[in-house]
Structure 1
Amino acid sequence: MANRDIERGVKNRSNNYYHETTTEKSWTSWLIPVFVVANVAMFIVTMYVNDCPKKNSGLQGGCVAKFLGRFSFQPTKENPLFGPSSSTLEKLGALVWRKVVHEHQGWRLISCIWLHAGVIHLLANMLSLVFIGIRLEQQFGFLRVGFIYLLSGFGGSIMSALFLQNSISVGASGALFGLLGAMLSELLINWTIYSNKAAALFTLVIIIAINLAVGILPHVDNFAHIGGFLSGLLMGFILLIRPQFGWFERRHLPADARIRTKYKSYQYCLLIGATILLVTGFTVALVMLFKGENGNKHCSWCHYLSCVPTSKWDCGN
């Protein structure tokens, strides 16, 4: 009778959102705020090093917001995002293909995700990070979310370097898209524990599609977005998997009343498949990058993923 009562209690619990009080807890989000502070601090350092009034004293039009002194911005013709010069970004660690491959500065694959091209760029990314990252960290903790963020940013940088070899790239967009990808894979791998799953999936896919579509505009590094998204998607299958409903509550029951496996068969399949794809993908991409391969030579149409030419703009630059 006791076992039946427990079983009935398990079945009657709301599955609106999965939460096992005996083992799951709501984490306090501190890593994401630290990431935000670090990005803002790095932008301040970037503008200090840029020192527009000193380096552009004879420039026609002058600096923007001169009252900020050495923190004033480059002329809008050079940087419409209200930020530093390209040379300053390159000096501080922007992603530059020739420096990564020919000058052995692989650290730029990580350093570039902490730099931003301007105030507008920084604000857009940090607002997205707060809305996406805090929720994930509260649910899964700082270790898993932090690892997804950093590795997704790294994956985005690798893909950007493979396909955009004549420009520089900065920003946390790849890492942010990694968190979006992780949200999608978390929903898929934990599919059975959600209610209104179709609505949640539709909403998330629309958000991702819109953000990727914006990436086909000129001057937006959509390869970093795609690389980060794919990295986060695969890591979500690995790191954000949840035990099947009721497993924690019934694991102390007699053997005949327990749920035999912690995860469902499809969860194991997704976890194993994602692990193989993630390791293989990073290995192949890194080998190609440091051999100096140009990804566009192996994919003649891939350049359209980052910029689609129209009568309004040209993607040649």
Structure 2
Amino acid sequence: MAAAAAAARYDVEQGGRGGAGKYPPPPPEQMYPQREGETEWVPWFVPVVVAVNIALFAVVMYVNNCPAHAASTRRGGAGACVARGFLHRFSFQPLSENPLLGPSSAALQKLGALVWDKVVHEHQGWRLLTCIWLHAGVVHLLANMLSLVLIGLRLEQQFGYGTHCYMNYSSQYMPERPALFLNLNRRSRFLAVRIGVIYIVSGVGGSVLSSLFIRNNISVGASGALFGLLGAMLSELFTNWTIYSNKAAALLTLLVVIAVNLAIGILPHVDNFAHIGGFLTGFLLGFIFLMRPHYGWMQRYVRPSDIKYTTKKYLPYQWALLAVASVLAVLGFAVGMGMLFKGVNANDHCQWCHYLSCVPTSRWSCGK
């Protein structure tokens, strides 16, 4: 999914609109001159997030200490802990309790899992943030971190790499304006920070929606934040529509991937409300943080000097989308937070919404 969307953006930044048009496209990547002091963009946010999640999982397992906390009355006693022989204190809870190879729910609650009662009645709003850094088990952790690498790493690379290429190419033909392109390069690095903001805020948005609908279960995981990145990729495609060549392919690929992942969320024990909340948050934030100069403005550096080009960096529709998304994002968080801390049960206002998170079938049932 991320590769297909990135391929469309890469095609635009290398040639633009399928190579058609009267303006010369930038040269191939290997022809970019390497100026002294310049380095290719190296992603840092995604690797840091992956490392933090792995480290925190180790901390949770240390606190969990299955052999010491296993009840003696449990069938099999402490020996029921999975891999106790070589993991010792870090061994997993019995598979009958946690089939994902992870800690107990008590350990997760202790370290910041999302629990509606604690958020609302004990005023522990910080759980809306901490829960996105915890995982229910090794299987859960690996699935989310693999998704983060496939989605986030590509997104971070593209936003740093594209501007850097234009800087090199333009600096070759316009050496008298190096300061402008150095500024573009610094801006590309700042875009990685924006992706971090989208990731974290989307995770919180997913936590808010989850808390409004789910009261009796705990929730952990980075899935809401990951869906936020998917939503941001979709809105980035819309707001930067003019710089894409394979628009239909990129849009179709994103929609299929999003639909499939949301469909998986209707299985039991999956918090699809966190997915939906994260996706909607990321979708709005993409319009705000990932707006890029339109195709005509970017091409002005490679056009002949006697040809007129637009002086507007962004198109009116981009500003309109940014304004609408900003208003909706602020209102959404304000209303959601207000309802949550007032103890409102969103299920009372939407009788069918529980089917968005779990659809009962003959093979499984959905707990209340």
TM (norm. structure 1) is 0.90
Preserved contact between residue 84 and residue 91 of structure 2 (Cα < 8 Å): yes
- Tell me the distance in 1 between the aligned counterparts of 2:195 and 2:316: 25
Whether 1:13 and 2:25 are equivalent positions in the alignment is yes
Q: Please list, as runs of the form range in 1=range in 2, the aligned pairs for 1:235-250 lying within 5 A after superposition.
A: 235-248=285-298, 250=300
2:75 aligned residue: 60
Q: Which residue of 1 aligns with 2:342?
A: 291
- CA deviation vs aligned residue, 1:71-98 (integer Å, no higher than 9, x gap): 1111111111010000110000000011
Partner of 1:5: none
Q: What do the CA deviations read for 1:122-149 (whole angstroms, capped 9, x no partner)? A: 0000000011111111233321110000
Of 268, 271, 274 in structure 2, the residue corresponding to residue 221 of structure 1 is: 271
**CA shift at 1:276, angstroms?**
1.0
Give the letter aligned to residue 72 of structure 1.
S
Instruction: Sort the Cα spacing of 1:173 and 1:29 in 2 relative to 1 into closer, same or farther, 3 A.
Output: same
1:47 matches 2:61 = yes
> Which amino acid counterpart does residue 82 of structure 1 have in structure 2?
L
Determine the structure 2 residue equivalent to 1:73: 92
Q: Distance in 1 between matches of 2:237 and 2:26?
A: 17
> In the alignment, which of 117, 125, 142 is matched to residue 123 of structure 1?
142
2-structure distance, mates of 1:283, 1:255: 51
Counterpart position of 1:91: 110
1:173 is aligned to 223
Secondary structure of the corresponding residue to residue 141 of structure 2: helix
Instruction: Identify the residue that residue 234 of structure 1 maps to in structure 2.
Output: 284
Match of 1:136 in 2: 155
Alignment of 1:298-317 (within 5 A): 298-317=349-368
State the 1:257 CA deviation.
Answer: 2.5
TM-score normalised by L of structure 2: 0.78
Query: Are the counterparts in 1 of residues 296 and 309 from structure 2 also a CA contact under 8 Å?
Result: no
AA matched with 1:305: L
Query: Are the structure 2 counterparts of residues 100 and 300 from structure 1 closer, same or farther at C-alpha, using a change threshold of 3 Å?
Result: same
Contact 2:113 2:134 in 1 (8 A): yes
Relative distance call for 1:148 and 1:10 in structure 2 (3 A) is: farther
Cα shift readout 1:92-115 (whole Å, capped 9, x = no counterpart): 000001111110100000000010
Q: Shift of residue 272 of structure 1?
A: 1.1
Counterparts of 2:57 and 2:23, CA distance in 1: 51
Within the candidate set 12, 30, 36, 2:44 is matched to 30
Task: State the alpha-carbon separation in 2 of the partners of residues 253 and 238 from structure 1.
Answer: 32
Q: Which residue of 2 aligns with 1:261?
A: 312
Q: 2-side partners of 1:63 and 1:298: how far apart?
A: 43
Of 130, 133, 140, the match for 1:111: 130
- The equivalent of 2:257 in structure 1 is 207
Matches within 5 A, 1:140-151: 140=159, 141-151=191-201
Query: How many residues align structurally?
Result: 305
Offset of 1:9 from its aligned partner? Answer: 8.7
Q: Which amino acid aligns with 2:218?
A: I
Separation of aligned partners in 1, 2:241 and 2:200: 26
- Distance, in Å, in 2 between the alignment partners of 1:237 and 1:166 is 34
Cα distance between partner residues in 2 of 1:74 and 1:300: 36
- Partner of 1:274, secondary structure, is helix
Helix, strand or coil for the counterpart of 2:23? Answer: helix
1:314–1:86 CA distance, 2 compared to 1 (3 A): same
- Supply the AA of the counterpart residue of 2:81: C
Q: Which amino acid aligns with 1:278?
A: A
Q: What is the match of residue 162 of structure 1? A: 212
Report how far residue 316 of structure 1 moved.
2.0
Aligned alpha-carbon RMSD (Å): 2.5
Q: In structure 1, list runs of 5 or more residues that go unmatched.
A: 1-7
Q: What is the SS of the residue equivalent to 1:11?
A: coil
**Contact map agreement 2:82 2:91 (CA 8 A) in 1:** yes
Deviation at 1:254, TM superposition (A): 8.7
- Of stretches 268-277 and 83-92 in structure 1, the one that deviates more from structure 2 is 268-277
Does 237-246 or 99-108 show the bigger shift? Answer: 237-246
- Contact persistence 1:129–1:176 (CA under 8 A): yes
Deviations 1:228-251 (A, max 9, x none): 000000101111111111314538
Residues 26, 139 of structure 1: 8 Å contact kept:
no
CA displacement 1:50-82 (0-9 Å, x = unmatched): 000111152213111112101111111111101
Shift of 1:14: 6.8
Q: 1: CA distance between counterparts of 2:99 and 2:140?
A: 10
